[in-house]
Amino acid sequence: MSRPADPFAKSKLLCAARSEFARCGLTEARVEDIARGANLAKGTFYLHFASKEEAFQEIVDHFFAQLVRYTEGCRPNLRLAQDIVELQACLRRQDVETWEFLWAERDIVAMLYQTASIPQYAHLLEAFLTAQTAIAAEQIRELQGRGLYRNTLDADLVATSIVGAYHNLGRRMVQQKTRPDLEAWVESITQLFLFGLEQRI
């Protein structure tokens, strides 16, 4: 009599795959080691995924879906902000929560930076950054229209600068051995950009 299928097999495999990708990278990771890490047979892996690349894609898709929830979470509050002080508080809260999430998921962030040099995966991070730049530009235009940001600034250029800064901070973060002072990072970035963006009477 055959054993019943493990209802948690896919979750176990994804967890093991994440650990294996973090340990040796996507290129060097082996399906056998992923299955072993999940305490499952190699054949079980192929019941759920066609390849290790498919498992990697699922991990990344889940990560980006979670990240978008953080980056989008503050948008309704931005519309309620009456002045630059309220806006700054909203952005600070959003950014601290986002960086805490990124620190907790830094193994995946590191994987994304590693695979960005592989042609077939370079689009994953690039597509996300492009989408975030478009969202940031939209928010900047909205705040310019409300008189909170200077309307003499090019929203697309400013958005590109902001997303680029966060992108480089992400690279710096994954190199840290211990948790950096994320709140200080957020304070510095918030003050830097708002000083340049703030409408002055």
Give me the domain span that covers residue 8: 1-49
Quick one: 21 and 2 in the same domain? Answer: yes
Q: What is the pTM of this model?
A: 0.84
Both 26 and 84 in one domain: the answer is no
Q: Are residues 24 and 59 in the same domain?
A: no
The total of structural domains in the chain comes to 2
Which range is least confidently modeled, 40-54, 73-87, 155-169?
A: 73-87
Token pair, residue 73, equals 């979470």
User: Do 108 and 120 share a domain, yes or no?
Assistant: yes
DSSP string across 74-116: THHHHHH--SHHHHHHHHHHHHHHHHHHHHHTHHHHHHHHHHT
Kindly state the helix (H) or strand (E) to which residue 193 belongs, with its residue range.
helix 182-197
The enclosing domain of 27 has a CATH number of 1.10.10.60
Three-state DSSP class for 65? Answer: helix
CA atoms within 13 A on the CB side of 8: 5
Q: Specify the CATH number for the domain of residue 66.
A: 1.10.357.10
Q: Which residues pair with 198 in a beta bridge?
A: 149
* pLDDT at residue 73 greater than cutoff 60: yes
On whether both 37 and 111 belong to a single domain, the answer is: no
Domain shared by 64 and 139, yes or no: yes
Say yes or no: 161 and 96 in one domain: yes
Phi, psi of 49 (to 5 degrees): -135, 140
Per-residue pLDDT for 200 more than 70? no
Mean pLDDT of the chain: 88
pLDDT mean over 75-83: 73
Same domain, 22 and 72: no
- Residue 183 clears pLDDT 70, i.e. is over it: yes
Judged against a pLDDT cut of 60, whether residue 150 lies above it is answered with yes
**Both 56 and 67 in a single domain?**
yes
